[in-house]
Chains A and B, each alone.
Chain A
């Protein structure tokens, strides 16, 4: 390989998102490494919350139980919305990697809107449950349910803020380093939030107490 070829390849290599992290000891992006490490640790957080819910959900002595408050059709639609937001997010990442930043911004905005729809649906669901007599301190089931799904809702909200912040920064061209990698990192977080909901939807909503 000639020097010119190496230089050319180096440029193309940077264009594909490795210019931001340069030479690292692993040969991988440190930002991406940190994000995967963070997601691995998040597994433990949600594992704890899901286990606590599983332990307590059948032990309520007062207040309504899961069978009396859950609406499977409603939550199924919410789940579908969140699943589709993962599709729009991966399309944003794909467009960013093809250097179509405008399209990536559009898909990220759609993802944020779908996420907001999910959070709005969750707030409505919580309001309905409260009206049916399930408060945060009503029973062990109520406390563990609201803590688990509330934590997830907060994660989705943080994801929406991250998406809109990146879209805003892209608009004024203030994203430092590799744009595609930044979008990919936000995407990793967003997909993680989605996979956690896949677990919650089945374990919490679909399995009868």
Chain B
């Protein structure tokens, strides 16, 4: 009996929680994504010097994380899914930083 109750509690991975979101939440996220994209495009037209690249990277990562956490529901989903996705993502970054470093990419004028 206790096993049944436990499963009923822990096994609820996501659907109930997702259904709890109103659709307005998704519209707000989409609006934020559109505004951030507009900001990115605007940045590419104005000269802000050395701040350009870091700012663009930050905006890109905010958009990336927003889609993954809110639209893919990873924020409220099981931890295991977090590990699977982010380990792939971080491994990709680590491997390719090494790859580009090997080719002295970061030393290019």
Contacts and interface: CB of A to CB of B under 8 A. Distances in A.
Interface of A: 1, 6, 9-10, 13, 16-18, 23, 26-29, 32-33, 36-37, 39-44, 46-48, 50-51, 54-55, 58, 72-73, 76, 79-80, 83-84, 86-87, 89-91, 93-94, 97-98, 180-181, 184, 187-188, 191-192, 194-195, 198-199, 201-203, 206-208
Given A16-B19, A44-B95, 5 more contacts: A36-B81, A44-B88, A97-B19, A187-B71, A202-B56
Contacts of A72: 41, 44-45
A194 B67 contact: yes
B85 A191 contact: no
Interface in B77-107: 78, 80-81, 84-85, 87-89, 91-93, 95-96, 99-100, 103, 105
A51 B84 contact: no
Interface residues of B, number: 58
Interface of A is mostly: helix
Given A27-B10, A43-B91, A94-B19, A198 B96 contact: no
A37 B71 contact: no
Contacts of A98: 19
A79 B72 contact: no
Given A72-B41, A94-B18, A191 B68 contact: yes
Nearest to A178: B15
A50 B16 CA distance: 37
B100 A29 contact: no
B92 A28 contact: no
A50 B80 contact: no
Nearest to B88: A40
Nearest to A203: B60
A51 B59 CA distance: 19
A86 B67 contact: yes
5 contacts: A27-B7, A27-B10, A37-B84, A86-B30, A202-B59
A44 B98 CA distance: 13
Nearest to B2: A1
Interface string B3-36: 0110110111111101101010011011001100
- 4 closest Cβ pairs, A-B complex: A40-B88, A47-B92, A87-B30, A51-B96
